Amino acid sequence: MASKSRARLNRQFDRLQRRIPEFAARWLERIRRPEARWIRIPLGLLLVLGGIFSFLPVLGIWMLPLGLLLLALDLVFLQGPVNSTVVRGTRKWSTWSRARRDKKAAGNKSN
């Protein structure tokens, strides 16, 4: 079960790396390496804490999911919930953006 969950998480990271700018993708590739565990765990914890305090300037809610993603690479019990949340969020985002695009296209046709 853990290996299946780990493989799914790696696919999610691969998809993310294809969508972000080149410099960020290279950084993410380096931080995903097994030897970067000692950087990844504290960074993930800091991002989660920053996400909790998102009401402060500079910090944002974006930090929480990124921190959980990084922690899920090393903490097996987080892999399942993080995987399902990412998949569910991706589906909702696709549905929302498709509906928005269709609504915009329908509005342009009526003009």
Higher-confidence position of 105 and 110: 105
pLDDT tens per residue, range 48-62? 998 888 777 777 888
Q: What are the backbone angles phi and psi of residue 72, rounded to the nearest 5°?
A: -65, -20
CB atoms near residue 72 (< 10 Å): 24
pTM: 0.75
